[in-house]
Structure 1
Amino acid sequence: MQKKFRSTGFFRIAPAALLALCFLQGCSVLRPSEEPSADEATETASTSGALAFTLDVRSENGSVARHLERHLEIQRFNRFPDLRDTEFNRLMAEAETNARSLLAALGYFNPQLSLHVEDTPAGSEAPRKVVIEVEPGAQSVVQSVNIGFAEPMNSDPQGQRQRARVERGWSLKQDDVFTQSDWDSAKNAGLRVLQRDRYPTARIESSQARVDADAEKVDLRIGYDPGEAYRFGALELQGNERYDAQGIRNIARIPTGTDYSEEALLDAQQRLASSGYFDAAFLMLDTENSDPQNATVIAQLREAKYQKVVFGVGLSTDAGPRLSIDHIHNKLWPLGWRAVSQIAVDAKSQQLATQWTAMPRESGWAWFTGAQLERAEVGDYTANSFMLTAGRTQSTGHIDRRYFLQYDFSRTEGSDTPGSSSSLLGSYSWTGRYFNNKTNPSSGYGVGWELGAGYTLTPEREPFLRGRARWLQFVPLGERNEAGRRSRLAVRAEAGAIVADSGTQMPLSLLFLTGGDTTVRGYAFESIGTRAFDDRLYGGRYLTVGSLEWQRPMTLFGNSSDWEHAVFVDAGSVSDDNAETSVYTGVGTGIRWRSPVGPLQADIAYGLKLEQFRLHLRMGFNF
């Protein structure tokens, strides 16, 4: 026996249409002299109290029974105590067809069904019971998969590579159990592979699941029509009046002339949205009125006002309660640069800072300058510091670059302190981020480094070198769960060094301290350093930090969730002499919630050196 099931657009819109129809008919009234229509019965059922019948689905397969009880259409009419026999008989006749359709969607194409009605004892919640006995049989499996593509994809070398990605990533493979939901997911996933790169107008031209119910086999056939291959053209701005149009295009950096990429379009949209010049930014490719080889990108923008003041209140386990006031000016006279100034106060520091940044050039490079005045607890000292910096910065794709000249001055308060010192430092930094997700990564890596050369200015003039490097990698482990997520290892390492004469006094802001939520858990923020002055905590010239963390998705009540469990070990040290290094180790466990803006983390860690527990809370992902 051969049966054919063809997917159509109707099944994608029918649930929404039914819901809308139900709302539109919410005021209908069932008249005693008329038999209820299906739609009228549905609405009146939600308001009636007494039960006309109950439904009992019996099967050795409990999941099948629960699925039918939840989705059978006859359930919609069980609260009509005056349901007429003719209407009830019609519902019973339709119930078998409905049950077979629901079972077919689960891959059971040859079930044995038995429907009958039983009278219930007096005093029961309903006068009768509809009983459906089900022997679903074996689930059908996929016998073959045929994926076809229309021209010009087959003759285009780049299109062939994309075709290979669709075939390689096809999720419903030979010998897999067939279900309608898996079939729909596989088709749509293949379509998304095409639409993400080069073929934004791709569509499913045809699809067919050919079922041999007797043999319990399904042959799948799908044809994709990729449409035209698109290339990025010029960026058209809509809604921009206050700010320099070319500067805005330089921020977006649409790769004109290259193949269309959804990722590149979303990255450009994110750069505009996070630039501070706009309250909203939405980018789309014009596929209706543009040449596919030079397709216009339309940016729909809602400009931000020139000035804005933001008040912030926060709490962290490292620095306690925090209050901040930010003032933002998007076109500050006389340079017209964007200026972000902040006053911030917490339990350990008071800070006044400002950062001015110009619109980027066509190359992506932008000038910046900034200043910071701070009074803070640094180790066992209270230090007053001042920093002035100026340079250029560039952010392209996954890579950030920056070179700058920086002046630092610091002075410690009280007697028996290192006193004051100052320096001038020229540095270059490079950061590459290659994660699969910008806010909640589960694989990939990031690497960054900074190298500078400078001179101390006071109390004496001495040359020095300063370098710092960091690395983070996520290593997936095991099989994916129902939500497509896997366990992973998060491996983190950081190292820093200052090379100078042993008697050279460095500004406190350039020395290294570690410990806290993002470094060595189990210890307070920047509580790991040297004991160079009167056995009091002070910054050091050499830094090493390492961390190994196992992250595992959690299952709640048998279902996948956005929660994860983590077990970790951190270690770090700060010293002035590598031969006299003391390693601080922390071990612990914690939970993670994958929020839309990044992971929310709560960790409890035990510092082996101090033999104490410490709670660490953190929000978001940064590298």
Structure 2
Amino acid sequence: MRCLPILLLSAAALTATGPARADVSLQVIGADSALQEDLTAASRLMAIEDAATLPAQDVIASARSDYSRLLAALYERGYFGPEISIRLDRREASDISPFRAPAPIQDVVITVTPGSPFRLGRAEIGPLAPGTELPEGFAPGATAGTRVLRQAAEAGITAWRAEGHATAAIASQQITARHAQAELDAQITLDPGPVALFGQLIPQGNERMRPEAIARIAGLPTGARFDPETLDRVAGRLRDTGAFTSVALMEGNLAPDNSLPIEADLVEAPLRRLGFGAELSSTEGVTLSTYWLHRNLFGGAERLRLDGEFSGLGGENGGFDALASAVYSIPAVLTPDTRLSFGVSVEHLDEVTFTLDRIDLEAGLEHRFSDTLSGSVFAELSYGQITDAFSARDVTMLSLPVGLTWDSRDNVFDARSGWYVDATLTPFAMAEGSGGARFTADARAYWAFGQTSGTRLAARLQLGTLDGGAINTLPPDWLFFSGGADTVRGQGYQSLGAMQGGVLTGGRSFFGSSLELRQDLFGNFGAVLFADTGYVSSGPYWDAGGSWHSGAGIGVRYDTPVGPIRLDLATPVSGDGVGEDLYFYIGIGQAF
């Protein structure tokens, strides 16, 4: 019986493998392909394309390091009695002095005889915190290996840290290999340490950000029991400001009173950012957008964003539309997860059925409940001048939009899994005396298939309804239309509305659905098949008196660092233009 000390919390570093040449070979006797791949990845020699092109000293150094690297990879998989031979020009590398290196080495042969994989005899770890979940493989009779031992130790430490024991660590370990039985006995003793309390947050690396503002935004609960999830949320709050390109929290030394200071290593982002966007549609024309952003106006991550957009340029429906807006926001107001925002926007809309010029003032709060759930409440006052089939009129409106957003997507620009749901209820009152409420919802889901997630299914459901307000006084853009890039591709922009008061205008209810099959092709290219459907009715709550239309088509995607470039071709399936019309849409990012 031999005692075999193993460092549980270290792993063999992996080196990316390149294509092996004939002069560097690896032979693994009696092992599966998975072990062969692990050993190839662990070997530095296997990354050498041609040993003859390197100085002999470099090859010898790589060979000497490969003994330990290959041994660590074998221990990971439970092979504790292996034989490793590395021969350089038929000489064992361990016998060659690096100070008396031969001429350039022409032949490198690595031979590994793993032997039989060991199994766990005794598998003991403790003391354990309540609710500790050890890996399934840490049990008598299971395949042994440093990987599962390390996982068991990490699980035990993680569980103690979740109970407030920030300094939990391995107190001792006894690992015994019984080669005759091919068994490994593991006894791991943990030291939970005392329950720690959060101490002060100590920012480092900040230049423009004020320390007191950093502490307010981080919201570290000084004096509360240590909790890793709370620490993750503190880091998330600092990242969410956009004022930092890097946020790293490090635990300091435990003080005699069990308080644990937290050091925040921060790298500030550039103060300003400028961005541009463009989209092209055969019916809606060109849309050009730009924004300018200042991330840290007064040293507290206060943000000012200016946006401008021109759309409908060269479009077939209506004239051009324009929007200019400014939003000023302050983080950590009332709570560390609450942001206060003020905004002003000026808008011009020139549509087929109406023209509108409007100025809008808003103020409100946005709150993040968790990593996936956020909410907002705003007060908005708007004044608009409207010309449509009903009249030329001025409209003053006070509204109170309340919204919730749940977002678990893995990627905002090109999701492969997760859900997104955004719902807003907007009570409103108009100066002429009428009022009511408007509700909108946008739900999306994404599923991936295959080992590389190369095939994805994306689905979208849109809902909208408007109850209250006289039809001849409501802002026409508060009513619902269907058709175009954001609703039903293959149908003209806002081509489906409803008859209200004898006038063709938008409806009080809208239902839209979209389904896409996305497939990666080669390189950065991908393809999409899609089908969209829309429904608009004149009454609220999706009454039965409305109209349907639909469209379908194909698309091409090309991945870029800022999201996929999108080209979609679509044609009507039902409604107007079946068998006649063809529309194209170009933009950045997926359609939804």
Of 321, 329, 352, which aligns to 2:324?
352
Alignment of 1:404 with 2:378, yes or no, is yes
Deviation at 1:497, TM superposition (A): 1.0
Return closer, same or farther for 1:146/1:250 CA change in 2, 3 Å cut-off: same
Cα displacement string for residues 500-536 of structure 1 (whole angstroms, at most 9, x for unaligned residues): 266443213322345666x546457964641549999
Return closer, same or farther for 1:618/1:324 CA change in 2, 3 Å cut-off: closer
Cα displacement string for residues 148-199 of structure 1 (whole angstroms, at most 9, x for unaligned residues): 24xxxx5xxxx413x2xx42x6676777655555655665566556657734
Deviation at 1:388, TM superposition (A): 2.0
CA distance in 2, matches of 1:339, 1:127: 63
CA contact (8 A) 1:403 1:429 kept: yes
Partner of residue 195, structure 2:
229
Partner of 1:322, secondary structure, is strand
Partner of residue 364, structure 2:
392
Task: Give me the CA root mean square deviation.
Answer: 5.7
Cα displacement string for residues 47-70 of structure 1 (whole angstroms, at most 9, x for unaligned residues): xxx99x664637575735566567
Partner of 2:233, secondary structure, is helix
Partner of 1:450, secondary structure, is strand
**Count, aligned residues:** 545
CA contact (8 A) 1:466 1:497 kept: yes
Partner of residue 576, structure 1:
538
Equivalence map 1:43-82=2 (5 Å): 55=25, 57=27, 63=33, 79=52
Partner of residue 466, structure 2:
498
Alignment of 1:312 with 2:275, yes or no, is yes
Partner of residue 467, structure 1:
439
CA distance in 2, matches of 1:186, 1:564: 41
CA distance in 2, matches of 1:204, 1:301: 30
Partner of residue 510, structure 1:
478
Alignment of 1:530 with 2:503, yes or no, is no
Deviation at 1:539, TM superposition (A): 3.6
Return closer, same or farther for 1:79/1:515 CA change in 2, 3 Å cut-off: same
Partner of residue 7, structure 1:
6
Return closer, same or farther for 1:294/1:449 CA change in 2, 3 Å cut-off: farther
Q: Taking structure 1 as the reference length, what is the TM-score of the superposition? A: 0.65
Partner of 2:252, secondary structure, is coil
Partner of residue 37, structure 1:
none
Letter in 2 for 1:530: G
CA contact (8 A) 1:496 1:542 kept: yes
CA distance in 2, matches of 1:585, 1:441: 24
Partner of 1:393, secondary structure, is strand
Return closer, same or farther for 1:227/1:500 CA change in 2, 3 Å cut-off: same
CA contact (8 A) 1:496 1:543 kept: yes
CA distance in 1, matches of 2:526, 2:229: 27
Alignment of 1:148 with 2:120, yes or no, is no
Deviation at 1:616, TM superposition (A): 6.4
CA contact (8 A) 1:529 1:575 kept: no
CA distance in 2, matches of 1:548, 1:274: 32
CA contact (8 A) 2:462 2:513 kept: yes
CA contact (8 A) 2:238 2:244 kept: no
CA distance in 1, matches of 2:424, 2:280: 28
Deviation at 1:313, TM superposition (A): 2.3
Return closer, same or farther for 1:499/1:98 CA change in 2, 3 Å cut-off: closer
CA contact (8 A) 1:170 1:190 kept: no
CA contact (8 A) 1:410 1:508 kept: no
Cα displacement string for residues 221-267 of structure 1 (whole angstroms, at most 9, x for unaligned residues): 54444434333345455677977776654433334454434443343
CA distance in 2, matches of 1:265, 1:101: 33
Return closer, same or farther for 1:576/1:207 CA change in 2, 3 Å cut-off: farther
Return closer, same or farther for 1:74/1:329 CA change in 2, 3 Å cut-off: closer
Which has the larger displacement, 496-505 or 97-106? 97-106
Letter in 2 for 1:8: L
CA distance in 1, matches of 2:483, 2:585: 13
Return closer, same or farther for 1:65/1:492 CA change in 2, 3 Å cut-off: closer
Partner of 1:271, secondary structure, is helix
CA contact (8 A) 1:530 1:574 kept: yes
Q: Taking structure 2 as the reference length, what is the TM-score of the superposition? A: 0.67
Partner of 2:544, secondary structure, is helix
CA distance in 2, matches of 1:572, 1:131: 67
CA contact (8 A) 2:510 2:537 kept: yes
Which has the larger displacement, 224-233 or 187-196? 187-196
Deviation at 1:604, TM superposition (A): 5.1
CA distance in 2, matches of 1:450, 1:95: 60
CA distance in 2, matches of 1:134, 1:243: 56
Cα displacement string for residues 344-386 of structure 1 (whole angstroms, at most 9, x for unaligned residues): 33546422112234565434666543221122455x4574332
CA distance in 2, matches of 1:358, 1:444: 30
Of 452, 465, 482, which aligns to 2:426?
452
CA distance in 2, matches of 1:180, 1:209: 10
Letter in 2 for 1:429: V
CA contact (8 A) 1:197 1:262 kept: no
Letter in 2 for 1:264: T
CA contact (8 A) 2:409 2:416 kept: yes
Partner of 2:462, secondary structure, is strand
Partner of residue 160, structure 1:
130
CA contact (8 A) 1:605 1:613 kept: yes
Return closer, same or farther for 1:257/1:603 CA change in 2, 3 Å cut-off: farther
Partner of 2:474, secondary structure, is coil
Return closer, same or farther for 1:494/1:171 CA change in 2, 3 Å cut-off: farther
CA distance in 2, matches of 1:620, 1:290: 51
Equivalence map 1:418-437=2 (5 Å): 419-420=392-393, 422-433=395-406, 435=408
CA distance in 2, matches of 1:516, 1:373: 24
Return closer, same or farther for 1:382/1:430 CA change in 2, 3 Å cut-off: closer
CA distance in 2, matches of 1:531, 1:419: 20
CA distance in 1, matches of 2:376, 2:68: 67
Return closer, same or farther for 1:4/1:418 CA change in 2, 3 Å cut-off: farther
Query: Which structure: greater helix fraction?
Result: 1
CA contact (8 A) 1:601 1:617 kept: yes
CA distance in 2, matches of 1:174, 1:605: 60
Identity, % of aligned positions: 18
Deviation at 1:542, TM superposition (A): 1.1
